[in-house]
Amino acid sequence: MVWESPGVSSRTLAAATVLAALSCRVDEASTKAPEADFFGPSLRFEGEWFGEVDGRPGVLRIERLGRTRLRGVYESDDRSRVLVLLIELAPSTDGFANVAPFTWQDGRGGRGRGWLRINRENTALDGAYGFDRRVDGAGAWLFVRVE
C-alpha cells in the first residue's frame, strides 16, 4: 500500500526526501578545525576555565596526560551536561599549535569531534563540536581562564 496524503503528491514527497538526504551530507569543511597559529612554547591549555558550551554555563577542567595529550571535563552548572574530552596537541619546533582537535563523549552514547583555540595570552578559549566526524554543528565553546 502506498502512503497518500491530500495535497502532497508522491513526486513532491520523493523530492523532499532527496533534499533532506542531501542536506545531511557532511561536507569536508565541517570535518576540519580552523587553521592554527604557533605562538611558541608558552601556550597552556591546562587549568580551570569558566564559560559555556552551546549556551549552557559551566566549568571546563583540563589536565595534562602526556606531552601531546590532555584530558578535559566540562560540567554544566546545572549538572545536566557532562562532556569528557581527549585533546591532542600539535607539536612543532616552536612549541604547540593554538588550535587543538579533540574527541568527546557524554557517557550517554553521544560522541564526536571538535576543536579548541586558545588566545596568545592563555586567557580565553573558543571552539566548536559536532557529532561523529563533524567538528561543528552541536554547539560553540566560549571560556575564560579562572585564576
Structure confidence by residue, pLDDT tens digits, 129-140: 999 989 999 999
Domain ranges of the chain: 30-145
pLDDT at 26 over 60: no
- For position 5, what pLDDT does the model report? 45
Residue 141 and residue 36: Cα distance in Å, rounded? 17
Structural contact between residues 67 and 90, judged by C-beta atoms closer than 8 angstroms: no
- For position 90, what pLDDT does the model report? 83
Grid cell at residue 117: 583555540
Q: How do the residues of the chain divide into helix, strand and coil, expressed in percent and rounded to 5?
A: 10, 45, 40
- For position 105, what pLDDT does the model report? 97
Mean predicted lDDT score pLDDT of the chain: 82
Question: Residue 126: which residues within 8 A CB-CB, separation 6 or more?
Answer: 116, 117, 140, 141, 142, 143
CA distances from 146 to 10, 14, 46, 60 (A): 57, 53, 11, 10
Q: Which of 13-17, 42-46, 79-83 has the lowest mean pLDDT?
A: 13-17
Q: Are strands 124-131 and 47-53 parallel, antiparallel or unpaired?
A: unpaired
The CATH architecture one would assign to domain 30-145 is Beta Barrel (2.40)
- For position 83, what pLDDT does the model report? 97
- The predicted model scores a pTM of 0.77
Structure confidence by residue, pLDDT tens digits, 86-103: 999 987 777 788 999 999
Structure confidence by residue, pLDDT tens digits, 60-74: 999 999 989 999 999
- Tell me the mean pLDDT in the region 104-124: 94
